[in-house]
A and B are shown apart, each in its own frame.
Chain A
Amino acid sequence: MIVPFGHVLLLAGLLFVLGMVCVVARRNLIMILLGVEIMLNAAAIALVGASLRWQAMEGQVLVLFILAVAAAEVSVGLALIVNAHRRSGRLDPNAFHRLG
């Protein structure tokens, strides 16, 4: 007996909102990427909790794929940020309004 499943969902939801506020409100490209990481982690917590709630393995398998997708997203995203910083010298998302 750990806790009710609703408390796990509440924790994951609060974490997701924190990540979303980080993505929407911060004015720094790296902080935006960190916010996406927080949101992915919140989804992983909810999935592991659900996997325990229904005693099924699918949730944990999905978390493994979330880890892989997060790694891919971070590598491409950070390369994009380095590229943008090299071109303009800034990390403010408002400073970028054209591709290429």
Chain B
Amino acid sequence: MNLYAVAFYLLAAVILGATLMAVTRRHLVHAVLYLIVSFFGSALLFYLFGAPLLAALEVIIYAGAVMILFLFIVMMLRVGADQGPLFPPRQILPAIAMAAVYLAVASLLAVRDTGTGGVLQTALADPRAFGDYLFRNAWLAVEIVSLLLLVALVGALVLGGRTPAADTPEGPGAPREVRP
């Protein structure tokens, strides 16, 4: 077992452990912080797999922007700890059933040879080569994604903006004062 393999198994343990802790936390702030650790582990894993640009983007977008947005919303809504059972039986039973199906398939895959095996060789996708490939072969998808982000921005504005009907607790039919 060489240094790369040791790094992979260490990172896998960190990612799985942090995600497990995140899923089972009662306080949302703790869950988000554990998930940030998990995403940092994923970024290092991308770096190990020879994708330095994606590693940087994972830290910037996932751990930086998305998780901080979650933290922001959790603090804005003043969410307390979850009350009651963490995993109610009515909901954990289907989850356990689906996880068992996955584990059965994964154990089958582990013992059978599916033809996709093989040991990973180290390689490096140079950021310049990656960007070159992206804008040569996938430029249409880049444009579509930019359109998607614009639509998401408009959707977030529409949903998050203060609607007059939601301001009054009585609903849209009740008289309400005029705001300047």
Which A residues are within 8 Å of any B CB, using their own CB? 1-11, 13-22, 24-28, 30-31, 33-35, 37-38, 41, 44-45, 48-49, 51-53, 55, 57, 60-61, 63-65, 67-76, 78-83, 85-87, 91
Which B residues are within 8 Å of any A CB, using their own CB? 2, 4-5, 8-9, 12, 15-16, 19-20, 22-23, 28, 31-32, 35, 38-39, 42, 45-46, 48-51, 53-54, 57-58, 61-62, 65-66, 69-70, 73-74, 76-77, 79, 82, 84, 86-88, 91-92, 94-95, 98-99, 102-103, 106, 109-110, 116-123, 125, 129-130, 133-134, 137-138, 141, 145, 148-149, 151-153, 155-157, 159-160, 166
User: Can you name the residue of chain A whose Cβ is closest to the Cβ of B122?
Assistant: A2
CB distance from A94 to the nearest CB of B (A): 10
Q: List 9 A-B contacts (CB under 8 A).
A: A13-B106, A21-B99, A33-B70, A38-B23, A67-B61, A67-B62, A74-B69, A80-B159, A81-B73
User: Can you name the residue of chain B whose Cβ is closest to the Cβ of A82?
Assistant: B160
Report whether B99 and A4 are in contact in the complex, using a CB–CB cutoff of 8 Å: no
Contact of B35 among A34, A53, A78 (CB under 8 A): A34
Known: A2-B119, A17-B102. A72 touches B48 (CB 8 A): no
CB distance from B64 to the nearest CB of A (A): 11
Report whether B82 and A27 are in contact in the complex, using a CB–CB cutoff of 8 Å: yes
Report whether B38 and A41 are in contact in the complex, using a CB–CB cutoff of 8 Å: yes
Report whether A1 and B119 are in contact in the complex, using a CB–CB cutoff of 8 Å: yes
CB distance from A81 to the nearest CB of B (A): 7
Contacts of A72 in B (CB 8 A): 148-149, 151-152
